Amino acid sequence: MKAAMKTVMKNMASWPVPFSVLAAGLAFLCCLLCPGSAAAYPQYTFKGFGDCNACHYSPIGGGLPNRWGRQSLDPTFGGTTGDWWGHSDLSLPAEAPAVDLGADVRLVPLFSKDSAGTEGPLLIPMLTELGGAAAWQRWTVYGTVTLKDAGPSYVAASREHWLEYSFTDGPQLRLGRMVLPFGIRQPDHTQYARHDFEFDKWDQSYGAELDWRTGGWSLFANGFVGDLTGQPSKRQERGGVVTVLRTVGSDSSVGISLLGSTSSARSRVAASAQARIDIGAGTYALAEADIQNFNQASGADTLTTEAAYLRLGWFARPDLDVYFEGGQRAFIDKGDYAKLRGGLGVNWQVFGFFEIGPQLILESRANLPTRVIGLAQLHLLY
């Protein structure tokens, strides 16, 4: 397996066409060839569940699942957590006040090795989060509490909390702290298209967002003022981001994202092209190509970054997702910092409350040893 992965990575690195161009081309080709209801992330949309809002309170996915999201799982050994204590159906309009509670715990056993040495095995507590939502009539309030590593100890913090109003004809307006709607929302925050574009697991912003779906189109528009707490005041970015998605067939979509922001230290512009493609027979593809540019407020220093992501997957069974993931990141005109990664993995929904995700990754880094990483994400969901 290790030798095979090295061969794949070597061939990818020697392609005459950059990996990012291939990912962007895949997204653009689908946009041209496919006429235009789901426009969602990630792979579970290809199981016919509809868009992100069908299974999550957040319209762009991620975070606490709603009751339908829990009941729609296909665990190997049966049963879901949809009827457990604290879970309620918050379908709007809610005639009486209702509350839905949940928890999300992610642990990652990890082992890595390169020519410079070995790291691990380690058990990393990636996330321990309690969440809840309450609804009445057309109003929904949502919030999470998370343990955050603050050096010698852990402190309680809230990654997301917002108030939402759902209009009768479909639009939703949210105010609060949330994940900005840019690109494909990957659950793996180490992917270059997330981490290197500052959409890591603690990268949320306060803002106002309008989410609207109509006639096969989806619009997510957000005006933001920074996270207000984690970043230094000079790095608190204020700006706007918009994502437009077009439904393709029944379970596929293509889209673009545009972002512009400024702070007293720098300004940023970024763009993303993305595609979610139902290939058929249980197979699918997720593709994303991003670019961003930073300009320092003082001086003429600039930094342009491009990144790409590609995932090819197959639902061997309703509860078992087998996939290949590839990613690439580079600084324009600074080839010494390029990164390339490829990996094979499995997502297995063992129980309604437990998922395991073993993965083997090979990562090539300019001027650094190539390293092999083995991990197995353990996901407990209440």
The type of residue at 204 is Q
What pLDDT shows up at residue 33?
A: 32
pTM listed for this prediction = 0.84
Instruction: Kindly tell me the sign of the dihedral angle through the C-alpha atoms of 111, 196, 326, 317.
Output: positive
What pLDDT shows up at residue 42?
A: 60
Residue 154 dihedral angles phi and psi, to the nearest 5°: -110, 145
Total number of domains in the chain: 1
Domain with 262 in it: 2-381
Distance, CA of 165 to CA of 86 (rounded, Å): 23
The type of residue at 220 is F
Strand locations in the chain (E): 94-114, 117-137, 139-149, 154-157, 161-166, 172-178, 205-214, 217-224, 238-248, 252-262, 266-280, 283-296, 302-317, 320-331, 334-351, 354-365, 368-381
Half-sphere exposure of 317 (CA within 13 A, CB side): 12
The type of residue at 184 is I
Strand partners, 351: 354
What pLDDT shows up at residue 49?
A: 58
What pLDDT shows up at residue 226?
A: 94
CB 327 within 8 A of CB 184: no
Residue 156 dihedral angles phi and psi, to the nearest 5°: -85, 130
Mean pLDDT by 10 residues, the chain (382 residues): 40 39 38 32 62 80 83 85 88 92 93 90 90 96 90 88 93 96 86 91 94 91 92 88 91 94 95 94 94 88 93 94 95 85 95 94 92 94 89
Distance, CA of 165 to CA of 171 (rounded, Å): 9
Distance, CA of 273 to CA of 31 (rounded, Å): 10
My answer on whether omega of the bond before 369 falls inside 30° of 0, hence cis, is no
Q: Check which CATH number belongs to the domain holding 164 and give it.
A: 2.40.160.10
Which candidate, 345, 343, 346, places its Cα nearest to that of 328?
343
What is the secondary structure of 71-106 as a DSSP string? HT---TT---STTSTT----PSSEEEEEEEEEEEEE
CB 60 within 8 A of CB 41: yes
What pLDDT shows up at residue 127?
A: 86
What pLDDT shows up at residue 109?
A: 94
What pLDDT shows up at residue 35?
A: 31
